[in-house]
Amino acid sequence: MITKQTIMDFYDAFFNHQQCDAADSLIAENYRQHNPGVGQGRVGLVKAFEAKFSSGEYFHLEVDQIVLDEAFAAVFLRSVDEQQRTKAHVVDLYRISGNQFVEHWDYFDRRK
């Protein structure tokens, strides 16, 4: 069962500590991605973020709120810089099936 803590742990491990293998249990192999900048499937997600992590650009996400039911999870978060200033607000929406994320949509509101 996916819990808010499961999601928090995934975001911390995968995005903030760049442990790409954290995707193995939560992200379905055939994960459907609706962000055109990220490839399809778990492999597409991992490849996209391996490239981002290796770019040398500072990358850190702060989760503000998670809304969760049996079928969907919405993660409200901020991308922050080294001084913890907000660079962008983001909402990730996931469809859940079989205790994994199987589909993803996102919304970005970048700070100017």
Which residues are bridge partners to 77 per DSSP? 63, 90
Domain coordinates of the chain in residue numbers? 4-110
DSSP letter assigned to residue 70: S
pTM (two decimals)? 0.94
- The pLDDT score that the predictor gives to residue 112 is 56
Mean pLDDT of each 10-residue bin along the chain, 112 residues long = 97 97 97 96 97 94 97 97 95 97 94 62
Domain 4-110 CATH (choose: 3.40.50.460, 3.10.20.70, 3.30.450.20, 3.10.450.50): 3.10.450.50
Q: Which two tokens stand for residue 37?
A: 């900048």
